Amino acid sequence: MNSYEPEMTSPGTEYLSGDYLFVAGSDLYNRLNQPSQHMPYHLARHLERLDLVGYARFYDGPPAPAWQRLKQGMRNVLSHRISIYEEGRIRTIKARRLLLPGSLDPLVQDLWLYMILRPHLKRGYHVGIVDGPESALLALLLKKTGRVGFLIYYDIDYYPGVSPQWSGLLSRREQICCKVADAVASVSRPLAALREQQGAKLAAVVPNGVDFASFHAANLIRKEHPPTLIYTGSLDARWGVDLSIRAMPLLRRQIPGIRLLIAGRGRAEQELHQLALSLGVNDCVCFEGFVPYPDLPNLLAQADIGVATSRQNIFRQYASPLKIVEYMAAGLPVICSGGGEAEQMIEESRAGTNIPFELEAFAEAVQSLWATAGRMSAAREAAINYARSRSWEQMGTLMAQLVSRVAGMANGSQAVAPTIES
């Protein structure tokens, strides 16, 4: 077993020849920001041809009564189970999922997707990349039937921590992916170490990236505004959004006019609204609701400090939060907690503060940044420089290097993947 971090190089005009497959699954059409909505397109810049597979829901139309959703879903499965379109070197294949009870879905869904995809897949892909444990059995079928010569598992999360109610099933499916794959591309260093322990033949670190140009534009449109903290992402008790709300009574005494923007939705949303109301800070805590990904830079331009204060749990231990590098690209110092990759990112970037999950520690971190103009300015510059090194373009190059290395195993080569130069 071997773990390594590919060396970042410039993107190139020389393509890796042949046909490649990227199974992005349900993430491709998720309305929330997901790595697999970015990685395939930046990887494709280095490949001769790429087939990109995404899963559509059984019913993906507007809100409707249950019988209408069932009726339209059946029509989708019968008449629109596969949609294909091509743009440049990417051929996108959209496969329709079945509506299945929870007990049947883990087995039947993979078999269904393989059955409807098989006539449209090429007979032999040089390398296939599969995102997430939802496609574990599909990955196994692709490898065992020879549809892909080599397989990479794109390891973007520790899924037993994402959905604890399905932890046993998800853990088994993750381990299937790790064992059948020729390499695992994990988004964090702790996650790569875990996959190595679980039997991965090669565990590489390919971090989450950022659309640097779009988020950095926040610095160009930033106008005068009150002192502002911001949180973007799911509203879940585990992500600790309540900490910043509970700190607002203390912070508003220290920093007059301070406000907190919260962008996102989730199970804890109503509870957080009630918390702000009970603390008497609902006038300075602004719930923005769901904000589409393209609109996030405009919202970040209205803020000064990014908040990523998760409670410490097993999911956070392995995660690589997209929000942190997006905050940084927008020129925001970050206050984080929860350990794992997030803590390492803050320490190596010097673009913020890692704190214990405590009210006083959070308030002190905000006050310390705000009270020292030189420190705030230095943290902003460090944040931008760090984010610049984490662009999706560069992450696509890292993945291309891993693809090249895995493909080179056919010749018995264990050398680091060749540089793809521009």
39: Cα within 13 Å, side-chain hemisphere: 30
121: Cα within 13 Å, side-chain hemisphere: 26
pLDDT of amino acid 410: 56
Which residue do the tokens 């702000």 mark? 276
Separation in Å, CA 106 to CA 100, 175, 180, 283: 9, 15, 18, 46
Least confident of 275-284, 390-399, 408-417: 408-417
State how far the Cα of 1 lies from the Cα of 422, in Å rounded to an integer.
32
| Segment 148-154 mean pLDDT | 97
Provide the CA 17 distance to its chain's centre, in angstroms: 28
Name the pairing type of β-strands 125-131 and 47-56: unpaired
Residues 383, 328 contacting (CB under 8 angstroms): yes
The CATH superfamily assigned to 2-209+391-411 is: Glycogen Phosphorylase B; (3.40.50.2000)
pLDDT at 246 over 70: yes
Q: Give the gyration radius of the chain's Cα atoms.
A: 22
pLDDT of amino acid 106: 83
| Segment 128-140 mean pLDDT | 95
Would you list the domain boundaries of the chain?
A: 2-209+391-411, 212-388
pLDDT of amino acid 65: 94
Tokens of 126: 């040089």
Separation in Å, CA 210 to CA 13, 28, 219, 242, 394: 22, 16, 15, 26, 10
pLDDT of amino acid 111: 93
| Res. 14 pLDDT band, cuts 50 70 90 | low
Which residue do the tokens 């510059």 mark? 381
Examine domains 2-209+391-411 and 212-388 and report if their fold is the same. yes
pLDDT of amino acid 242: 96
Quickly list DSSP for 240-252. Answer: THHHHHHHHHHHH
pLDDT at 1 over 50: no
Which residue do the tokens 């988020």 mark? 215
Quickly list DSSP for 366-390. Answer: HHHHHH-HHHHHHHHHHHHHHHHTT
pLDDT digits (tens, 9 = 90+) for 363-395: 999 999 998 878 899 999 999 999 999 999 999
pLDDT at 12 over 60: no
Residue 215 burial class via C-beta count within 10 angstroms: exposed 0-12, middle 13-18, buried 19 and up: buried
Does the reported pTM lie above 0.85?
yes
| Segment 337-366 mean pLDDT | 93
pLDDT of amino acid 366: 96
Share of the chain above pLDDT 90, in %: 78
Least confident of 82-96, 210-224, 306-320, 334-348: 306-320
| Res. 283 pLDDT band, cuts 50 70 90 | very high
pLDDT digits (tens, 9 = 90+) for 170-183: 999 999 999 999 99
Provide the CA 85 distance to its chain's centre, in angstroms: 25
| Res. 163 pLDDT band, cuts 50 70 90 | confident
pLDDT digits (tens, 9 = 90+) for 62-120: 999 999 999 999 999 999 999 999 999 999 999 999 999 877 888 899 999 999 999 99
pLDDT at 418 over 60: no
| Segment 330-353 mean pLDDT | 93
User: Taking the domain 212-388, which CATH number applies?
Assistant: 3.40.50.2000
Q: Which helix (H) or strand (E) is 185 found in, with range?
A: strand 183-186
